[in-house]
Amino acid sequence: MMESKKLKQFDISCPKCGIEKEISVPDSLFLQKKFGTVKIKVPQGAVCKDHNFIVFISTKGQVIGYDIIDASVSLDHKEEHPGDLIDLTLDELIDAFGFNCVAGFIHAKLFDYPSSIIRSEEFFLDIGQLNELFDDLIPPKYQTTKAIKDEEFDSYVFPNPNYYYSTIKKEHTDAFLINNRKLVIQVPWRVQIDFEKSILSKALGKKDKSEQLQCLAQYINQFISDVEFTQSLLENVRSISEKELIKKFKENLIVSTINKNRIISIKEFITRRISKEVGRKIKN
């Protein structure tokens, strides 16, 4: 018997820790099914060393979502609803939304981008509590008025979710969009969100789960004080190079871990949240 040995490549990211890798899937998996979704179990070690998970791929060959195996919290199943969202630990928040979506929400809240969760399925979600949870991570002065929104669409009208996604992308080009299957659908920023991903990983590393969110808030607070330090430096100069700025940080602040990426984030924050003119004073 001849079997198709052709493979298809997909960029997969672990919903639990965000590590990305290209994986190959036999083409034959998609030929067996004419329409719908192919569910692939990704074993531990295939994408990241610590987690196994499920990826959903449409028969058209698009990644449409993820699921975490053995997650205590899942938004897909109403009966497993997590109770009050506001009481979730960071671990549970990742189980519910996925690592990259949570990192994106932090970036959206901190840098003042609108964001939405797009879904066709019913799931338990108190959007007010979700907003409160993310807002609480950020010092009051910089809490944004742009709330995370819940967008439900009718899967009878749009049997192909990607069709709906492209419509909503066109309408909200400035928004961060995810679906209820832990998939990032649109990213409106051009920067890498390494800062958010790294503080998320560090906070998740805390053994005491009750301290994880608090730890995350502390990292954000540190970032804001770096922003304010930069702002005070910029008051007295016409411009400053990124290199000089790093030097100033090293001279003045012992605790802050400063590097080029951090400077880029600070510049982005000043430009978006404080003043474009002041942001322009940082030259590369």
Contact set with Zn ion (CB under 5 A):
14, 16-17, 48, 51
Q: Which residue has the tokens 């058209």?
A: 60
Q: Bridge-partner residues for 55, per DSSP?
A: 40, 66
Largest CA distance in the chain: 77
CA dihedral 64, 152, 124, 14 (to 10 degrees): 20
Type of residue numbered 227: V
Contact predicate 96/74, CB 8 Å = yes
Contact predicate 115/138, CB 8 Å = no
The CA-atom distances, in angstroms, between 37 and each of 14, 77, 142, 167, 206 are 19, 18, 41, 21, 36
